[in-house]
Amino acid sequence: MRAVVLSGPKKLDLIHVKNPEPDGNNIMIRVTACGICGSDLHYWELGVGMDGLPGLIMGHEFCGMVHDPGNRLDLKKGERVTALPINPCGVCKNCMTGHQNICLNGLKMPNPGNNSPGAYAEYISIRPDMVRKLPDTVSDREAALIEPASVALHAVTLADIRIGDSVLITGGGPIGVLCAVWARIHFLSKRKIDIEALVTSEIQLEKVQQTFEQFDLKNHQNMKVLIRPFIYH
Ligand SMILES: [Zn+2]
Ligand SMILES: [Zn+2]
C-alpha cells in the first residue's frame, strides 16, 4: 500500500509499505479521510514521532471503511468507522476508573500515528475495542474531526460554564475553534454566551474568522463572539 512516511525534519515521503495483515483480532480499515493534528506538525518539524524515532506514518484523526472486521462480529466489510487513537492497558488505576484516555501505561504502548503506523496510509490496523461505527449523517471529513472535537468537548465540559458567563478561549487553532463551537452548542437557544477567542497570528485570525462564519457563530442571537487579535512579531 502507499503511505506517507516521516523520514526526517520537515521531510515526508510517499512510499510503498506492506499492508497490515488481517489477523482475526485487529480491524483493518481502509482510510478515507485523515486530519493533520498539531502533534503531527511537531513531529514533522522534528522529524521523529513520540518515541523519538524517524520513519513514522503519522495520522491519528481519521475515518475509513472496514476492510477486515477482525474479531468484531458486529462489523461488516465496507461499514464506515472511526477509532480512538489510543492503546490503554485496561488494568491501571485510570483505566479501571473509566479514564482510558489518560492510561498510566498508555504512552509506553504502541499508539497509532504517534509511535506506531497511523492513517497517512491506505490501510490501518486498529485494536477492536477502539473502533466506533459511524452514522450516515456524518461525512468522512467530519468523522476525521471526531477526535479533536472530543478533546474540545471535554475542555468545555470541564470549564463548567454558567448562564451569562463570558468565555475566553486562548488560541484560535482547531481545538480553540472547536471549543467555541461546543460552547455554542451547549448554550444554544436558551442561554447567552460571549466568547472571546484570543488568536496569536494574522493567519490564525483569518482562519478563526472563516470558521466562525462557517459555523454561523457570529450571527447567533444569544451569542456574542469577539475575536481579539494578540499578535506579536
Ligand atoms: Zn491529535
Ligand atoms: Zn491503563
What pLDDT was estimated at residue 187?
65
Q: Is residue 128 scored above 70 in pLDDT?
A: yes
Which of 70, 71, 80, 74 is closest to 30 using CA atoms? Answer: 80
- Please, where in the chain does CATH 3.90.180.10 lie? 2-144
Within its chain, how far is the Cα of 54 from the centroid? Answer: 22
What pLDDT was estimated at residue 210?
76
Q: Which of 2-11, 78-87, 141-150, 198-207 has the lowest average pLDDT? A: 198-207
- Return the ligand number nearest the Cα of 59: 1
- Return the ligand number nearest the Cα of 119: 1
Residue 99 alpha carbon to ligand 2 centre in Å = 8
Residue 10 alpha carbon to ligand 1 centre in Å = 18
- Return the ligand number nearest the Cα of 37: 1
DSSP 21: P
Considering the domain 2-144 in this protein, what is its CATH number? 3.90.180.10
- Return the ligand number nearest the Cα of 95: 2
CATH class of the domain comprising 149-229? alpha beta
Residue 37 alpha carbon to ligand 1 centre in Å = 4
Residue 151 alpha carbon to ligand 1 centre in Å = 9
Distance set, CA 215 to CA 42, 80, 164, 228 (Å):
28, 25, 21, 18
Residue 223 alpha carbon to ligand 1 centre in Å = 28
What pLDDT was estimated at residue 233?
45
- Return the ligand number nearest the Cα of 103: 2
- Return the ligand number nearest the Cα of 146: 1
Residue 61 alpha carbon to ligand 1 centre in Å = 6
Q: Is residue 230 scored above 70 in pLDDT?
A: no
Q: Could you please report the per-residue DSSP string of 63-85?
A: EEEEEE-TT-TT--TT-EEEE--
Radius of gyration of the chain (CA): 19
Q: Is residue 194 scored above 80 in pLDDT?
A: no
Average pLDDT, integer, range 157-184: 79
Q: Which of 158-162, 202-206, 212-216 has the lowest average pLDDT? A: 212-216
pLDDT band at 171 (very low <50, low <70, confident <90, very high): confident
Average pLDDT, integer, range 32-56: 95
Q: Is 72 left (phi over 0), alpha (psi -120 to 50) or beta?
A: beta
* pTM listed for this prediction: 0.83
Q: Which of 19-33, 155-169, 175-189 has the lowest average pLDDT? A: 175-189
- Return the ligand number nearest the Cα of 109: 2
Is the Cβ–Cβ distance between 214 and 184 less than 8 Å? no
- Please, where in the chain does CATH 3.40.50.720 lie? 149-229
- Return the ligand number nearest the Cα of 91: 2
Composition of the chain by helix, strand, coil, percent to 5: 30, 25, 45
Residue 222 alpha carbon to ligand 1 centre in Å = 31
Residue 50 alpha carbon to ligand 2 centre in Å = 18
